[in-house]
Amino acid sequence: MTSSYSVAVIGLGSMGMGAAQSCVNAGLTTYGVDLNPTALATLKQHGAAEVGTDAKAFADQLDAVLMLVVNAQQVNTILFDLGLADALKPGTAVMVSATIAADDAKAIAAKLAERELLMLDAPVSGGAAKAAAGAMTIMASGAEEAFAKLQPVLDATAAKVYNIGTEIGLGATVKIIHQLLAGVHIAAGAEAMALAARAGIPLDTMYEVVTNAAGNSWMFENRMKHVVDGDYTPTSMVDIFVKDLGLVADTAKALKFPLPLATTAYNQFANASNAGYGQWDDSAVIKTFQGIELPVNQAPEVNA
């Protein structure tokens, strides 16, 4: 059954590539869309049916679209400005997995509904390794029909799928709250490692202690390894957390709710971006601390 099910994965970054490869591995007819020719070639070699820079080329073949792009603007541009939504067959399910505001998710869903298209508000987490293993965590909301239509994609890409409810925007809000924790954990980890550097503690030793003790977190273990290695090649960039913690702040503002830690973390990431590290790995937030020496590998290759 699955071989006759077709899905296009739009956005072949660190998460999107893993998700697309997981769809191929699960036997789904998988199409890949990105502007990066290297990513397209990688997915084609992995067994994608077709790849390209514009999903409209195979839109009439699709049962589902999985969007793993950066923000709501990119979702709207691809679906509506460039016309993908108009090219899809009625009843096609669009799984929007960018981290976006709840209001943006609702607006996108309404425009898709006008075209008789289904939407699942379905942000993802887990990092590149879990995406490649088909073991992402997906926090989703939407109609039962959307969940049902996307079941093969959910089965292929996720270890855990949380059905938050039928209301579009709930998935987005859960992800935003999750990003509050993720951003604060990275900022706190950077602060701890910066203090260790200032105190003359070898960072590899500090890293080993924390990752085997109660102060550890997934974000500390994953991101502070980059600091120890002096490698800031981005899998998730500083500017992503400027965006995501901005969404956290907007959500709290609408609810008139104070977020002292998230606000401080946002300022740290904004400071790092302002200092020129926006396209570096988000662990480069540690670069804003003065008077410390950090392991040096080399400046990462980043897209301008």
Tell me, yes or no, if 89 is annotated catalytic: no
Phi, psi dihedrals of residue 189, rounded to the nearest 5°: -60, -45
Return the axis-axis angle of helices 218-229 and 170-199, rounded to nearest 10°: 50
Choose among 140, 139, 134: nearest CA to 178. Answer: 139
Largest interatomic CA distance in the chain: 62
Whole-Å CA distances, 233 to 98, 223, 282, 300: 21, 11, 9, 5
For residue 119 the two structure tokens come to 């939407």
Please, how many CA atoms are within 13 Å of residue 140, restricted to the half-sphere of its CB?
28
- Choose, from 149, 175, 243, 287, the residue flagged as catalytic: 175
Is the alpha carbon torsion for 186, 189, 191, 196 positive or negative?
A: negative
Any idea which residues carry the catalytic annotation? 175
